[in-house]
Structures are given as C-alpha cells and as structure tokens.
Amino acid sequence: MSARPLPTSTPSAEGVDASGVHALLDALETSPDIEPHSLMILRHGKVVASGWWAPYTADRRHLLYSLSKSFTATAAAFAVAEGLLRLDDPVISYFPEFDADITDPRSRAMLVRHITTMASGHAAETHERALETDREEPVRGFLLLPPDGDPGTVFAYNQPTTYTLAAILQRVTGQSLTDYLRPRLFDPIGIGDVAWLAGRTGRQLGYSGLHATTDAIARLGLLYLQGGTWNGERVLPEGWVEEATRSHLASGDETWSADWRLGYGYQFWMSRYGYRGDGAYGQYCLVLPEQDAVVAITGATDQMQAVLDLVWRHLIPAFGRTTPQADASLAERTAGLALPPAAGKPAALETAVAFTPYDGGGAELAKLTAVEVDAAGRRVTFVEDGHRLELGFGEPGWTVTEGPVPAAVSGGWTDEHTLVLDVALLETPHHVEVTCSLTDRTFTAKWRTRPLHSSRILAMRAPRDSG
C-alpha cells in the first residue's frame, strides 16, 4: 500500500543545525566499526534530514532484530484497550493446557505485566534453556524454568518474555501480529508493507524478526512522541505512552553500557536523552521529547553504544540552533550517500569455474558447498544445501540483484588468481565476504556480522507471505 509521505522541512526552519548533522554523518562514515545503512531525523513532526547509503534504499524493508519488541508492545496496547488482555493476569492463565506442568510458585505468579517489562524474575537470558526444555513450544519451555527471584523484582533482558507476550497476543486476537496491527497501527499512521519471521509454532516471533522500512521506524517514534496521537486523532490508548516509556525497573549495573542501565519500560529502553527501541547490529528508534525529535537509524555494527554516543555528541547540540547556509549542502550530501565498494576489477575467464570450500569449509557457512563464476565474469552463483542463488557482479560500485534474496555485490579480481566479493544481503544488516582462489579453485566465506536467526544466505530475506 502507498501512504502519504511524512511532511518535510529544512533543518534551519525547524531549528536544527545542519552542520551538526554533517558532523554526525562524518562520524558514522569514518568509524571503522560502524556501517550506516539509513538515517532519518524528524523535528516538530517533519523530516529535516534523511538518507540511505547505497545499495540500501528508502523502500527496502530491513530486519529490525529487537526493535521488533517495541512493535509487539504496541500490539499489547490495543489488546488491553479491547479487553482481550489484562496486564495483571497471570501468564499461565493464557495457557491452560500447561497448567498441570507449571508447578513452581514463582512461575505461576508471573504476570503479563512482568513479561512486558522483562521482569519475569529470571536473573539472565533464558532463550537457549527454554528451547532446550521444549523446542516445539518455547512458551512451555520458558514457563518450566523456575525464576531466580520473585517476578517484578529483577530485570533481565530475556527473549522468551517477549516471545510469550507475542504468543498471548496471537492467541487472544486469533491473528498474527502483522494482521492484528495492520488496521490498528500500520494503516492509521501510514506504515507500508512489513513482514515478520515466524517460528516452529507458526507464530510470529515478537521479540525479533520484523522487517520494515526506516520510514516505519520513524513513524512509530513519532506516534509515541505525540503521546499516541496521529494528525490529531488518538491511535494508542490514553496514558499508554506514559506507562510504556517510563522506567519500571533498573535495567543493569556498571558492567552494562551507559544507555542500557537507565531503566526499561514496555519494551522500550530509557536513554540519556529520551527513550528508544533498538535492535542488534544498529537498528534504532530514538524518541527525544525534550528536543521534540525522532531519529531512526539502520545499520550494521557491533558497537551499539558507540552509535548512541555519536548521536548524543553531534546531534543533540544541533537542536535549537541553525546554520541556514549548510542546509543545501546537507541535502546534496544525503541524496548521494553510498557505502564504499570492495576493491577489484571484472575479468573474463576461459571457462566457468566452480570453487569448493577451502579446507572443508567452516562452521559459519557450513551449508555453502560451492561458489560458481561464469566465464564472462559477471555472474556468481552460491550453492547452499543444494539450492542455488545467482547474483550479478562486476559493475562499478554495487550490482543489485532483486531475485529471491535481494543482494548487492561489489568487488572483483584483486589479482589474476584472487576474486574477492562483498555480498550485502539487503533486507538484513548482514554481509558475506567471499574470497575465491583460482590457483586451487577453493573459496573462503565469512559473515561480517553473524546473523542471529539463521546462518544460511538463502534465509537472509523478509518473509514474503505476511505484512
């Protein structure tokens, strides 16, 4: 579906110093550990700066990882308002079929409110333990793990809490999260196509797996910034934003990064400035009430705190001052953002070549059994677990192939014997780096950032059957 674009303005018209945005872009682009994919900055309800680093584009859905949690909590807001969900009900009351199995008193005392605020009573992440306990029904596996303390007294970032909340929502609504949110959230605030990964049970994950555009992130942030209203109409229940975006429990100690120990709400983190939803490898929805601003970011980095530090250092001081002469250069710059392509030149071969894994392959991409390059040196095919993915390469910059797994490839031959390719999986934060040796016809492949849901290249895409 198409939606009305968010209103736009110039930085100076909304009291934002474009020089500060330039400085933020400089810092993001020169940091060796940060790969930015997109940035949107809104102030006073208007987009004052936005850009996507090629080969990423504005219309591309991007895996949001744990930023998905903030959308799940928003679904809970509607279910509460409709009388389908009560935050002070025991979690077990929504799963009567497990009632006889769940005997620990703390597990039985766990309320929906507790799983919504990551306060189940467990002292640490339980994801792997829950799956080990019951892989077919992770909710049951989670509820069979006795909490270490009383629910509501201890915070632990814990995926099964949000998974269980999502399971409850899908049970009481009779719909997937995306179907339930479409008429209540997505359509009213203009969010277009989204997709959400599902697990073995067929339920959408809730705690991760949402694929959405940067624009969708910005719209969610703006809805919360506006207290749950959109164009003057109430979308979220009265009072929900205030409850969802305050600290319900301390969220960490001095061993945690600075912006992760300031408290946790309903699937939102408190920050040094405002509050936020965020996801692994650099997906952010920053809501800054004091600045009347929203910042949406996607990217690929292991340095989550470093990105926030750069925003606080360069962008926060830019609110409330202007440099009108910098507006035009910023607009020109954001229109031409691009990631540097890998080095290498195209070259034709005498014949097509198939490369096999060097030294038996590695654990990171164990299912990748062959890399094939055509004689013209313009197509590369990845053979993974018997399935084939053919991609173009060899054009200047990035060669984009839509196909079953949207990807962009850069690089080429770095010498007469060595082919080096950087493969960006465009609906995710992830890249595969591939080096092929013509000398022994072998290849090596590694993830730049390791995917959290699957290690298969062919899984690096949004589901095509939801939204």
Name the amino acid, one letter, at 279. G
Tell me, what's the pLDDT at 361?
Answer: 65
Provide the CB-side half-sphere exposure for 456 (13 A, CA).
Answer: 13
**Is the predicted pLDDT of residue 159 greater than 80, yes or no?**
yes
Tell me, what's the pLDDT at 2?
Answer: 55
Tell me, what's the pLDDT at 255?
Answer: 83
- Percent of the chain at pLDDT exceeding 70: 98
Average pLDDT over residues 165-187: 98
Q: What angle do CA 28, 31, 34 make, to 5 degrees?
A: 70
> What is d(CA 50, CA 215) in angstroms, rounded to the nearest whole number?
10
**Is the predicted pLDDT of residue 466 greater than 80, yes or no?**
no
382 — pLDDT class (breaks 50, 70, 90): very high
> What is d(CA 245, CA 138) in angstroms, rounded to the nearest whole number?
28
In 103-258, the DSSP E strands lie at 195-196, 210-212, 229-230, 233-234
**Is the predicted pLDDT of residue 246 greater than 70, yes or no?**
yes
- Percent of the chain at pLDDT exceeding 90: 96
242: three-class secondary structure by DSSP: helix
**Is the predicted pLDDT of residue 465 greater than 80, yes or no?**
no
More confident residue, 247 or 360: 247
1 — pLDDT class (breaks 50, 70, 90): very low
pTM: 0.97
Alpha-carbon dihedral of residues 434, 435, 440, 442, nearest 10 degrees?
-10
* pLDDT tens per residue, range 347-366: 999 999 999 999 866 678 98
**Is the predicted pLDDT of residue 251 greater than 60, yes or no?**
yes
Question: Is the separation of the CB atoms in 55 and 426 below 8 Å?
Answer: yes
Which domains are present in the chain?
12-81+167-335 (3.40.710.10), 353-459 (2.40.128)
**Tokens (6 digits) for 332:** 């020109």
Paired sense of beta strands 275-279 and 407-415, if any: unpaired
Tell me, what's the pLDDT at 66?
Answer: 98
* pLDDT tens per residue, range 188-203: 999 999 999 999 999 9
Burial pattern 326-341, b for ≥16 Cβ within 10 A else e, equals bbeebbebbeebebeb
Name the amino acid, one letter, at 68. S
* pLDDT tens per residue, range 7-37: 999 999 999 999 999 999 999 999 999 999 9
More confident residue, 467 or 186: 186
Assign residue 77 a region (left: φ > 0; alpha: ψ between -120 and 50; beta: otherwise). Answer: alpha
Tell me, what's the pLDDT at 422?
Answer: 98
The overall longest dimension of the chain from CA atoms, in Å, is: 71
CB-based contacts of 363, cutoff 8 Å, min separation 6:
none
Tell me, what's the pLDDT at 276?
Answer: 98
Question: Is the separation of the CB atoms in 299 and 53 below 8 Å?
Answer: no
274 — pLDDT class (breaks 50, 70, 90): very high
Tell me, what's the pLDDT at 254?
Answer: 80
Closest CA to 75 of 197, 165, 193, 210: 165
**Is the predicted pLDDT of residue 467 greater than 60, yes or no?**
no
> What is d(CA 264, CA 248) in angstroms, rounded to the nearest whole number?
6
Least confident of 133-142, 285-294, 354-363: 354-363
> What is d(CA 184, CA 275) in angstroms, rounded to the nearest whole number?
23
* pLDDT tens per residue, range 449-458: 999 999 999 9
Burial pattern 136-166, b for ≥16 Cβ within 10 A else e, equals ebbbbbbbbbebeeebbebbbbbbbbbbbbb
Distance of CA 430 to the CA centre of its chain: 11
